[in-house]
Amino acid sequence: MRAIAIVLWGVLWLTVWLQEKKPGEEKAGVEKTAGNSSKLVNPVKTSPESIAQGKKAYGFDCAMCHGKEGAGDGDLAESMHLKLKDYRDASALKDLTDGEMYTVIMSGKGQMTGEEGRMKPEQVWNVVNYVRSLAKK
C-alpha cells in the first residue's frame, strides 16, 4: 500500500513539474495572457512571402466567417447572423495592435474559436500581416 502511495505521489509531482513554465521556454511574442497582448511585437516582418502564407491560412480557417476578401461576409457569418468588421476598411483595425490581433486569433473571442493548437505562432503572425494588408488595397 505504501509503495502505491509513493508511486502516485511521484506521478502527481511529475505532472505538476512538467506543466510548470520554465524561464526561456516560450518564444518571444508568444505569451498567451490577454493583459500582455497589446505589448506583443510581431516577430514576422511583413513581406510578400508572409502575406502569401497568411492568405493561404486565412483562406482555410478565417474566410468562412470573415469573407474571402475580409469584408465580414463569409457564408458562416451570414448563416449565424454575425456582424463582422470589414478588414478592407483601415479604420476597422486601427485601434488593435498586432499583438492584440494575434491573441484574438490564438485564443478566440465571442463565438470565434481560437487557433491555438491548430496553427503555429508564425502562421498566426502571417495571418495578422495578411489581414493588415487587406486595408492597403
- 125, three cell numbers: 503572425
pLDDT at 106 over 90: yes
pLDDT value, residue 21 = 39
47, 126 contact by CB (below 8 A): no
6-46: pLDDT as tens digits: 544 444 444 444 444 344 434 433 444 456 788 899 999 99
Global model pTM greater than 0.75 = no
Task: Indicate the domain borders of the chain.
Answer: 27-134
What's domain 27-134's superfamily in CATH? Cytochrome c-like domain (1.10.760.10)
Task: Write the CA distances from 84 to 38, 40, 63, 65, 78, integer angstroms.
Answer: 21, 24, 12, 8, 10
- The DSSP code sequence of 51-65 is HHHHHHHHHHHTHHH
As a whole number, the mean pLDDT across the chain is: 82
